[in-house]
């Protein structure tokens, strides 16, 4: 299992629009925004903003994999070891992930993040 990096931290916010604007003023780039969550980037690092209505997960940190098969294999291994994990989920932005809890109850995410596709010129 090869973790590529810790890719993001997710925090809960009361107002997605206000929080996204705040972090953009700090220098982050808005990568994705919906009514219930937003994702901002600072280089390769990300910050997920979760609204009170976001029901997938609460505050967490995400480990990034560059290969979907590694996420699936990690899911099988952790599940076999008795780690609390949620099913693997394909997301609307092309990523896929699952959430788990560490022994102290903290949430983590194992996330497949495909390489960006270069824009056609």
Sign of CA dihedral 57, 77, 93, 22: positive
Question: Which CATH architecture fits 5-112?
Answer: Roll (3.10)
Where do the structural domains in the chain lie, given as residue ranges?
Answer: 5-112
This prediction's pTM = 0.76
Q: pLDDT in tens for each of the 121 residues of the chain?
A: 677 788 899 999 999 999 999 999 999 999 989 889 999 999 989 999 999 888 777 899 999 888 899 999 999 999 999 999 999 998 877 889 999 998 888 899 999 988 764 444 4
């Amino acid at each position: 299992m090869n973790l590529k990096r810790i890719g993001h931290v997710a925090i809960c916010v009361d107002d997605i629009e206000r929080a996204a604007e705040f972090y953009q003023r700090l220098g982050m780039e808005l990568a994705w925004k919906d009514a219930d969550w937003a994702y901002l980037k600072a280089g390769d690092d990300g910050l997920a903003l979760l609204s009170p209505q976001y029901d997938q997960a609460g505050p967490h940190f995400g480990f990034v994999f560059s290969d979907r098969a590694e996420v699936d294999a990690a899911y099988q291994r952790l599940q076999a070891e008795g780690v609390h994990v949620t099913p693997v989920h394909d997301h609307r932005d092309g990523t896929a992930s699952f959430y788990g809890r560490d022994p102290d109850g903290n949430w983590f995410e194992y996330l497949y993040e495909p390489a960006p596709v270069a824009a056609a010129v």
